[in-house]
Structure 1
Amino acid sequence: MTQPSKRAVVFAYHNVGVRCLKVLLAGGVDVALVVTHQDSALENIWFESVQSLCELEGIPFITPDDPKSPELLERVKAAKPDLMFSFYYRHMLPQAILDVAPAYNMHGSLLPQFRGRAPVNWAVLHGAGEAGASLHEMTIKPDAGAIVAQQAVPILPDDTAFEVFGKVTVAAELALYGVLPALLDGSAPRTPNDLTRGGYFGGRKPEDGRIDWTLPAQQVYNLHRAVAPPYPGAFTDVETAAGTRRYVIERARLLPRAPAGLPADAAPGLAVADDAILGVCGDGRVLAIHGLLLDDARVSAAALRSQLQAAQG
């Protein structure tokens, strides 16, 4: 006798939300309700839309502002889910919702590493050699429940957080795809989430992208990689007679050695040598900056040289 399909309520957003929702649909899960977010006009929306997928598939969806509202709890209860999932939904779910049905969250790291917000960005910032996705049981404490499935992906030395996030999206899809049959029949494994390992990290703000050029070049380069566009970007301010100019690094590479045209006593900060834009760091190593933005427009090496000379004069 064929088992009836499991009903699910899914909290989802972003690329991971889209891909994992598609996995559930492909696996025969009856998605009774999707809870997602309204896209903000103030945000750079570079990712796929869960709402658009719901409209395409005819799945009921809502976009509540408050995850603790009684109205949301009633909608979730009315859906009578057997399971609940959270795929990059941006709010913590209250205990009242978690009590409705077994709930699982997809987190963008290899738990217990990089628990909390922006795990991919933090992993790149800390120079990690791998990232991944972890499906785990949801508890009221974030990223603390038992691990059901994991998939690792490499972080290459020049990968930006955007590139790593693309890999993590695939990792999330693979992790869920592999364990979904066992989740549906109740045989999925549970591995304790050892919270004595790893660490918890908070959200990041644009101001966290400010460059301290006195730091070693690898740290500066990791910061650039962690926040490179479409994230806000690593930036540096230069004081001029006309006011503060804010330069944002769009693209850069860490050079194995300083160019011959750069003076040995070059001060940390932006510089121009051999018609190239450079970032001189505290240990004497240098970033070759292939894209530098000022007021969202590309700055040439010649223009930057003039601007830096004007600032020094």
Structure 2
Amino acid sequence: MHAVVFAYHDVGVHCLKALLVAGIKIDLVVTHQDDPNENVWFASVSKLCSEQQIPYVMPNATELPNLIPQLQALAPDYIFSFYYRNMIPAQILACAKIAALNMHGSLLPKYRGRAPINWAILHGESKTGATLHVMEAKPDAGDIVAQAEVSIGPDETATDVFAKVSQAAVSVINVVLPDLILGKVPHQLNDLSKGSYFGGRKPSDGLIHWDQSAQQIHNLVRAVAPPYPGAFTDWQGQTMIVARSSLQGPFPAELDLGARGIQVVDNRVFGICGDHQALEILEWFPAKTH
């Protein structure tokens, strides 16, 4: 079986390795340049390709249509997308003889779209997962091929959960590869009416609104904790990144639960939230000024 793989991030590296172990011949990998404005804390697909002597290219999104003649000539059995961030044109998907399949970091149909793990934590979910699905022109809308679930602990950050989802993605690939190698693609309905779609997130979305509940603010802190850009608030004229928080008391009796915002008691930092509950800030630091 031959494949062309669009890949980036840890999920891209782990799933590429799983394909190689299974004996899939990878004719080309399409990845992208790292964003100079992003904290790159994850594994490199281009480095893996160099080590394994797999041909790879790094076009920008507008250059993708230029690949169509090359992919038509390769005529791969499968096209895979593993955490590749750009929309792949339908003419490219059509180059796969059997199927074009994408790995998405949620339990579809929930959390279609961008930043699925961050959004799941932000919404207080207790579970998420990885889903392999058929790619269509509409994002994350094709039939589900296989999925695996992971738990989200009450204090886990997006990075903690991402590590679990990366492993779940590999287990999904390994479960379904025997069928794929035989040219069989399992299908189950991806019922979009039971799901949700979310767009990307910007660093400015990390602003803490102290009128929200303590649970909502704790979820925000976890969802965007470093190495993501971080939740932030203003304190004494300085922007502070809130890296870690806790809802576990007991809290000092001296806290004024009627006054929203930051309060410092006995060298401990607390945020008073809109539901008159306190949240302890376990770790914070000044934001870098550019």
Common fold by TM > 0.5: yes
- Residues in 2 aligned to 1:93 and 1:68: alpha-carbon distance in whole angstroms: 11
Q: Report the equivalent of 1:175.
A: 172
1:138–1:224 CA distance, 2 compared to 1 (3 A): same
Q: Report the equivalent of 1:304.
A: none
Specify which of 203, 207, 232 is matched with residue 206 of structure 1: 203
Q: Report the equivalent of 1:84.
A: 79
- Residues in 1 aligned to 2:140 and 2:57: alpha-carbon distance in whole angstroms: 24
1:119–1:80 CA distance, 2 compared to 1 (3 A): same
How far off is 1:264 after superposition?
4.5
Give the counterpart letter for 2:254 in structure 1: G
Contact 2:105 2:129 in 1 (8 A): yes
- Residues in 2 aligned to 1:287 and 1:175: alpha-carbon distance in whole angstroms: 37
How far off is 1:214 after superposition?
1.1
Range moving further from structure 2, 256-265 or 198-207: 256-265
Q: Report the equivalent of 2:253.
A: 260
Range moving further from structure 2, 74-83 or 278-287: 74-83
Specify which of 212, 221, 224 is matched with residue 224 of structure 1: 221
Contact 2:64 2:89 in 1 (8 A): no
- String of CA shifts for 1:3-61, please: whole Å, max 9, x gaps: xxx01000000000000000000000000000001112221000000000000000000
- Residues in 2 aligned to 1:69 and 1:129: alpha-carbon distance in whole angstroms: 37
Contact 1:67 1:93 in 2 (8 A): no
Q: Report the equivalent of 1:7.
A: 2
How far off is 1:259 after superposition?
2.0
Over the matched positions of the two proteins, sequence identity in percent amounts to 52
Give the counterpart letter for 1:97 in structure 2: I
Give SS of 1:196's match.
helix
- Is 1:146–2:143 an aligned residue pair? yes
Give SS of 1:186's match.
coil
How far off is 1:68 after superposition?
5.4
Correspondence 1:32-47 to 2 at 5 A: 32-47=27-42
Give the counterpart letter for 2:256 in structure 1: P
Q: Report the equivalent of 1:284.
A: 276
- Residues in 2 aligned to 1:237 and 1:19: alpha-carbon distance in whole angstroms: 39
- Residues in 1 aligned to 2:112 and 2:257: alpha-carbon distance in whole angstroms: 42
- Is 1:72–2:67 an aligned residue pair? yes
How far off is 1:184 after superposition?
1.5
- Residues in 1 aligned to 2:260 and 2:40: alpha-carbon distance in whole angstroms: 34
How far off is 1:260 after superposition?
2.2
- Residues in 1 aligned to 2:285 and 2:257: alpha-carbon distance in whole angstroms: 26
Structure 1: which 4+ aligned runs deviate by more than 4 Å?
none
Q: Report the equivalent of 1:307.
A: none
- Residues in 2 aligned to 1:137 and 1:67: alpha-carbon distance in whole angstroms: 23
User: Unmatched 5+ residue regions in structure 1?
Assistant: 1-5, 298-313
Give SS of 2:61's match.
coil
Larger Rg: 1
1:274–1:210 CA distance, 2 compared to 1 (3 A): same
Contact 2:106 2:112 in 1 (8 A): yes
Q: Number of aligned pairs? A: 287
User: Unmatched 5+ residue regions in structure 2?
Assistant: none
TM-score (structure 1 length as normaliser): 0.88
Range moving further from structure 2, 183-192 or 199-208: 183-192
Contact 2:65 2:92 in 1 (8 A): no
- Is 1:274–2:266 an aligned residue pair? yes
- Residues in 2 aligned to 1:191 and 1:292: alpha-carbon distance in whole angstroms: 45
TM-score (structure 2 length as normaliser): 0.95
Q: Report the equivalent of 1:247.
A: 240
Contact 2:213 2:273 in 1 (8 A): yes
Contact 1:123 1:131 in 2 (8 A): yes
- String of CA shifts for 1:188-238, please: whole Å, max 9, x gaps: 321010000110000000111111101110001111110000100001124
